[in-house]
Amino acid sequence: MQDVGVGLYPSMSLLNHSCDPNCVIIFEGYQLLLRSVREIQIGEELTVSYIESLMPTSERQKQLKRQYCFECDCCLCQDQEKDAKKLAGEEPAWKEVKDAVNEVKYPKSKEEWEKVLAKCQHLLSSHKSRLPDTNIYQLKLLDCAMDACINLEAWEQALCYGSRTLGPYRLYYPDFHPLRAVQLMRVGKLQYSQGMLPQALETLKQAYDIMKVTHGTDHSLMQALMDLKEQCEAIMKIH
């Protein structure tokens, strides 16, 4: 998730931050929906994450301080349990990848996407044994390569990169997280495009199980997901 804009939603600004929140905010057009992602006790405070929770603790703390002027002391910030995994691998390698990923702005033309993809491919092959896919910058690089391939309609290669992200997404977003649901849907769609129907159906089912909590069954994305799942099932029935 990138910071692309700011909207004014007065009632939502009453919610406090946690890096491990009990609610998420979902867009439906210009509308914001607040949805709970776990059981909430009576009297318990509702929280959302103001920032991308994937970042390691020190980065999250820095961003919260800079943008919102406070220090977070949520459970994730206290135990810092996943930080070592997030920064696994050789430091010079992930620092190079971090800079490269941050440099990618919003490519518009085919040529720009081709350049992005070439850069990603170069980094992925040169850092092959130096960075695991669980390193968050490597993960962002895989995501970026997947986006580039989708924009260049290189579906098979997009699926290759996308599949590699699913394990790390499960690790960092183990519960109900909208980003994981969307990623599963994207990979499921790519599997479908490659005729891998049983795999596609399985991936789409996983997306569905998360999305019914994070987005709800009335959300337009959920409708699209259910249509895709039905198409997949219908073709499998014929064959």
Angle at 107 between CA 103 and CA 108, to 5 degrees: 160
Among 48, 77, 88, 152, binds Zn ion (CB under 5 A): 77
Residue 234 Cβ vs Zn ion, minimum distance, rounded to whole Å? 45
- Comparison of 18 and 191: residue with beta carbon closer to Zn ion: 18
51 binds Zn ion (CB under 5 A): no
74 binds Zn ion (CB under 5 A): yes
54 binds Zn ion (CB under 5 A): no
- Comparison of 50 and 208: residue with beta carbon closer to Zn ion: 50
> How many angstroms from the chain centroid is the CA of residue 191?
18
- Print burial letters for 127-164: b (CB count within 10 Å at least 16), e (below 16): beebbebbbbbbbbbbbbbbbbbbbeebbebbbebbbb
Range in contact with Zn ion (rule: CB under 5 A) among 15-23, 120-128, 203-211, 212-220? 15-23
Range in contact with Zn ion (rule: CB under 5 A) among 13-21, 33-41, 135-143, 178-186? 13-21
> DSSP letter string over 68-131?
H-----SHHHHH-TTHHHHT-S-HHHHHHHHHHHHH-----SHHHHHHHHHHHHHHHHHTTTT-
What letter would DSSP give residue 12? G
187 binds Zn ion (CB under 5 A): no
**Cα–Cα distance measured from residue 43 to residue 45, given in angstroms and rounded to the nearest whole number:** 6
SS3 category, 45:
coil
- Comparison of 19 and 120: residue with beta carbon closer to Zn ion: 19
- Comparison of 74 and 141: residue with beta carbon closer to Zn ion: 74
Among 15, 23, 72, 145, binds Zn ion (CB under 5 A): 72
- Comparison of 33 and 55: residue with beta carbon closer to Zn ion: 55
55 binds Zn ion (CB under 5 A): no
123 binds Zn ion (CB under 5 A): no
Contact 141, 177 (CB under 8 A): no
Residue 178 Cβ vs Zn ion, minimum distance, rounded to whole Å? 18
182 binds Zn ion (CB under 5 A): no
From 71, 59, 64, 62, select the one nearest 95 (Cα to Cα). Answer: 59
Contact 96, 126 (CB under 8 A): no
Q: What is the token pair recorded at 143?
A: 């995501």
- Comparison of 74 and 142: residue with beta carbon closer to Zn ion: 74
SS3 category, 79:
helix
Among 19, 104, 159, 201, binds Zn ion (CB under 5 A): 19
Q: Look up residue 96 and give its amino acid.
A: E
Range in contact with Zn ion (rule: CB under 5 A) among 68-76, 164-172, 174-182, 228-236? 68-76
Residues near Zn ion (CB under 5 A)? 19, 72, 74, 77
